[in-house]
Amino acid sequence: MKWSFPIGRIAGSELRIHLTFFLLLLWIGIAAYQSGGSAAAVDGIAFIVAVFACVVLHEFGHALAARRYGIRTPRITLLPIGGVAELERMPEKPSEEIIVALAGPAVNVVIAAILILILGAQVSGDTLAAMENPSAGFMARLASVNVVLVLFNLIPAFPMDGGRVLRALLATRYTRVRATEIAGGVGQVAAFVFGFVGLVGGNPLLIFVAIFVYLAATAETQAIGLQDAARSVTIREAMITSFETLGPDATLQDAGDALLRTTQHEFPVIDGTGRLRGVLTRSALVQGLASGGPGTPVLDIMAHEIPTLREGGSLTEALEALHTNRPPAVAIVDAEQRLIGYVTFENISELMMLRAAAVR
């Protein structure tokens, strides 16, 4: 995710934080300072940090439940509107998806129970209505936030946890693609409702939530459709086979010349035996020219960790490899590990677009 950076790794997942999260902290701090001075500002920032610690635990609930089914979670990203656990994939069995979806809210239930039953936090309707008021008590407000997180996430609107439960239940009667379309449609309707309430009530955060829910519901629906279509396509059908390569001694000047005379956005770098050393992307080329100049070796700029597959496999394998660590491409190699082609998100999307148009 752009504009995010790693702050650590926990249980095999990279924890990232989006730069806009600090804007939220700044906004909360300034607003609290203006209303109650430095003490209020410190309390406000500490409360937001505590809330997002609960959000992180919520996302790790999903991650640990997914690990039970052999699914890794490479990244968890904190945003001003919450957290996103980027699972390699969601379980396709409805019962497993329900468990993974409910694991996050279950963590918030446990946190709220600890705060209320053990630490004595008092949660009432007044506390829920005034969570931004420091006089309500830090623990009481934090318990209230966790109650709200449970209720909000269980709204049956995709891609929230309740929407994933809805998708899983629908998948017991419909195909996974159709279940996702229905749950995604519910999510888009919910997004319009959130946006309308945010506009009428003057709540900009709710408007951002509405935008995120709408875009996420749309993206998930498209992704599931792509995954389903990819099952019937081989890598051989999708891979790019006509391309220019760069040698290990090439410079960014050589890469720039190749960029101008071709339509490629990425250039495989291969050695004398035809084996892949890495991939130089157009964006890396531009950044490298700006920082190091045209004489910079491509070996210093290219992406090194490029997954490789054999051409006889399913395109689903390539999609999973592209999604896991977000490489610029997946290399397709022969029995001697020589490069014979590669696939990218872009050319897979183009293939699926053409196949969809052909069946109409």
198: pLDDT strictly greater than 90: no
159 backbone dihedrals φ, ψ, rounded to 5°: -100, 20
343: pLDDT strictly greater than 80: yes
360: pLDDT strictly greater than 60: no
Lookup: tokens for 29: 């701090």
Cis peptide before 248 (omega within 30 of 0): no
Identify the pLDDT of residue 279.
94
A 10 A CB-CB count for 322 gives: 18
Closest CA to 278 of 250, 295, 302: 302
159: pLDDT strictly greater than 70: yes
359: pLDDT strictly greater than 60: no
Q: What is the largest CA-CA distance in the chain?
A: 72
Identify the pLDDT of residue 97.
92
Identify the pLDDT of residue 85.
85
Listed by start position, the domains of the chain span 1-154, 159-230, 235-358
Task: Give percent above pLDDT 70 in the chain.
Answer: 94
164: pLDDT strictly greater than 70: yes
Contacts of 268 (CB under 8 A, 6+ apart): 243, 245, 246, 276, 278, 279, 329, 331, 339, 342
356: pLDDT strictly greater than 70: no
Mean pLDDT of the chain: 85
238: pLDDT strictly greater than 70: yes
102: pLDDT strictly greater than 90: yes
136: pLDDT strictly greater than 70: no
Torsion on CA atoms 149, 56, 113, 167, rounded to nearest 10: 50
- Residue 199 CA to residue 353 CA, distance in Å, equals 36
- Residue 72 CA to residue 91 CA, distance in Å, equals 11
CB-CB contact of 269 with 245 (8 Å): yes
- Residue 347 CA to residue 238 CA, distance in Å, equals 7
**Strand pairing class (339-343; 308-310):** unpaired
Lookup: tokens for 346: 């872009």
Q: How far apart are the first and last CA of the chain?
A: 34
Predicted TM-score (pTM) of this structure: 0.72
Please state the CATH superfamily assignment of the domain spanning residues 235-358 in this structure: CBS-domain (3.10.580.10)
Supply angle C-alpha 64, 115, 75, rounded to 5.
25
Per the document, the length of the chain is: 360
